[in-house]
Structure 1
Amino acid sequence: MPPLPHPAEDQPRDVGTAAFRMPPVLQKRADFLAASRARRQGTPGFLLQARRRDDDGPPRVGFTCSKKIGNAVARNRAKRRLREVARLGLSALGRPGWDYVLVGRPQATIERGFEDLREDFARAMAKVHG
């Protein structure tokens, strides 16, 4: 009997589409500080900070959760949820040349329904750019 092929070998590899790829992520503290001094829009699930850069590069995104969220496990869960919200929504709602920072809120970011978080993101983006 021949050996069974590895399941991944049978399936076509999903390279992803632009709509589902994670946008570039902010890494420098100066970028986070600049976004904190720019536009902001609060939602029940998180706070959105946004600033226009001086270039026409792709939109970038950053995530932050303070210790008010909870222990490391809770903070990581909140950031994972925010990352997914941004991954799904930023390609359609983000604008080139902008930086966005999603700041988690205690309890709400983790406990709020995922669809509610996505609606919060859409509303916040519309108000920031409106």
Structure 2
Amino acid sequence: MLPASRRLRESETFRAAVRRGRRAGARTLVVHLARDEEPGPTRVGFVVSKAVGTAVVRNHVKRRLRHLARERLDTLPGSAVLVVRALPPASEASYAELGSDLDRCLDRVAR
């Protein structure tokens, strides 16, 4: 589980990260990374739409992504906002596939 201080919950911050952040995509997800004006820890938010599947499937995908993102928090720049958007193929992807797609996307946006 992500600590409360690392969770992104404000819709305006989600919107700002998606609009002005760097973006990279893979088969199962799209990542948006934006620098936050306010100093603080890197915060992470997730978008898993109904196109991914039923509520059970969406929650399963979200739990997997949350765990993967938590493992990679230390590699992200400080005071950044990361938004991870799951695509419909994420519902059928294995944990390893999601992890490799997330790593590939994070490498691209962190440059």
Q: TM-score, normalised by structure 1?
A: 0.76
| Contact preservation (8 Å) 1:61, 1:100 | yes
Q: Which 4+ runs in 1 deviate beyond 6 A?
A: none
Q: Distance in 2 between matches of 1:110 and 1:102?
A: 14
| Contact preservation (8 Å) 1:89, 1:121 | no
Q: Which amino acid aligns with 1:31?
A: T
Shift of 1:90: 2.0
| Structure 2: gaps (5+ residues) | none
Q: Distance in 2 between matches of 1:85 and 1:99?
A: 16
Shift of 1:116: 2.1
Work out the percentage of aligned pairs sharing the same amino acid. 35
Bigger drift between 119-128 and 97-106 goes to 119-128
Of 91, 98, 104, 1:110 maps to: 91
RMSD of aligned residue pairs (Cα, Å): 1.4
- Paired residues, what number? 108
Shift of 1:51: 0.7
Q: TM-score, normalised by structure 2?
A: 0.88
Q: Distance in 1 between matches of 2:103 and 2:39?
A: 22
Higher-Rg structure is 1
Where 1:68 maps in the other structure, the secondary structure is helix
2:55 aligns with: 72
